[in-house]
């Protein structure tokens, strides 16, 4: 039998906590027996939810954390002050090796700060990037970094490219993943100062399959497997992706519901339409890992439902079994690192 992967899950994080988080954890342990979940949160509330289900009880343990970090709290202060919050307690479990990973749908800022301050970076990693999978026509691509390190430097982006390659190869099983840098044109001489500095460094990396620049237009077409960018740009891409998809689907629904004839058409077409649109939904792959830490931290959407929590827990298992952090240590921290 394989090792047990121990996952600390923030039972208080996100819009649908604790109900959906608890359901996601129950679904995960009911599906696989190589997982142990620690549900971190206000004990009474969590246990009340748990009581609704039948599940293998030895696979879930509730860890009491009375405090909650709110979405709007300044992250650095919240991490420092709320030692009994689910985020701080969960991250400390990863730090102490009591858990392999921590999953949270809570405050992005607190998760990013806590990951660096509590869990800590792998030696040699300059900045840990947040790397969600985004849906494309052909499957998914990894967007790295999408919000952790604004105003990053070229050497950071090179590390992002390497970590992203390892992730896509080991977790998604994509051999020799294509790595591209987000740019405003396909030619090498295009770009802002950061891209112009990073491009030749990526070209020199022999251990990644660098395919050059990618224009934002090509991202939804699946033009690359690993999409490297500075966090401000990555955040714009991720949020526009979500916002525009929601808006367009809304506009289409409105069109389908506008006349009696179109309503009948919609009723006939809907099952097939739902199926193809589901393929364009990345939540089935879990949340966004914060890579390069001594352990794994996964940020899921604030609006996560049980499915995203379950899939994020499974993602932690793959991450551990594939020894992503061992690979990052071997392949990245052996490289000469530019100093700040």
Contacts with a second copy by CB under 8 A lie at 74, 136-137, 147, 150-151, 182, 184, 189, 191-193, 195, 215-221, 231-233, 235-252, 254-256, 258-259, 261-262, 264-277, 279-280
Residue 219 vs 324, nearer CB to a second copy: 219
Of 54, 68, 53, 58, whose CA–CA distance to 37 is shortest? 58
Give the nearer residue to a second copy in terms of CB position, either 281 or 338.
Answer: 281
| Structure-token pair, residue 329 | 């240590």
CB of 110 to a second copy, least distance (A): 13
Residue with smaller CB distance to a second copy, 58 or 276: 276
Q: Report the side by side order of strands in the sheet with 101-104.
A: 60-64, 35-41, 5-10, 101-104, 296-299, 288-290
Residues 6+ apart with CB under 8 A from 54: none
Q: How far is the CB of 133 from a second copy (least distance, A)?
A: 16
Copy the structure tokens of residue 121. Answer: 């970076």
Cβ closest to a second copy, residue 63 vs residue 146: 146
How far apart are CB 329 and a second copy at their closest, in Å? 30
CB of 248 to a second copy, least distance (A): 5
Nearer to a second copy, 200 or 255 (CB): 255
Residue 318 Cβ vs a second copy, minimum distance, rounded to whole Å = 27
Q: How many CB atoms lie within 10 A of CB 83?
A: 11
Using alpha carbons only, give the angle 89, 91, 96 rounded to the nearest 5 degrees.
95
Q: How many CB atoms lie within 10 A of CB 31?
A: 11
């Amino acid at each position: 039998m394989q090792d047990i992967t121990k996952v600390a899950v923030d039972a208080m994080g996100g819009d649908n906590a604790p109900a959906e988080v608890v359901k996601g954890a129950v679904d995960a342990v009911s599906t696989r027996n190589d997982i142990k979940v620690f549900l971190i949160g206000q004990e009474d509330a969590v246990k009340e939810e748990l009581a609704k289900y039948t599940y293998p009880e030895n696979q879930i343990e509730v860890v009491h954390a009375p405090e909650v970090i709110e979405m709007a709290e300044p992250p650095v202060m919240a991490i420092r002050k709320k030692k009994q919050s689910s985020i701080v307690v969960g991250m400390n479990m990863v730090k102490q090796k009591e858990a392999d990973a921590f999953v949270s749908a809570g405050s992005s800022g607190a998760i990013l700060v806590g990951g660096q301050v509590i869990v800590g970076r792998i030696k040699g990693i300059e900045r840990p990037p947040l790397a969600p999978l985004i849906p494309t026509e052909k499957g998914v691509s990894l967007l790295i970094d999408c919000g952790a390190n604004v105003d990053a430097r070229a050497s950071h982006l090179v590390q992002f490219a390497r970590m992203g390659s390892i992730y896509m190869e080991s977790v998604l099983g994509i051999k020799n993943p294509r790595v591209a840098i987000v740019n405003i044109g396909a030619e090498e001489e295009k770009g802002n100062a950061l891209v112009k500095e990073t491009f030749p460094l990526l070209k020199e990396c022999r251990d990644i399959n660098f395919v050059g620049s990618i224009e934002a237009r090509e991202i939804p077409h699946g033009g690359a497997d690993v999409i490297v960018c500075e966090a401000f740009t990555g955040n714009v891409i991720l949020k526009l992706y979500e916002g525009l998809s929601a808006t367009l689907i809304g506009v289409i629904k409105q069109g389908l519901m506008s006349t009696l004839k179109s309503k009948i058409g919609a009723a006939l077409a809907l099952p097939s339409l739902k199926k193809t649109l589901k393929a364009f939904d990345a939540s089935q792959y879990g949340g966004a890992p914060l890579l390069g830490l001594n352990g794994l931290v996964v940020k899921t959407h604030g609006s996560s439902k049980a499915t995203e929590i379950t899939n994020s827990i499974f993602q932690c298992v793959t991450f551990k079994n594939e020894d992503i952090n061992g690979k990052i240590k071997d392949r990245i921290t052996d490289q000469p690192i530019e100093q700040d």
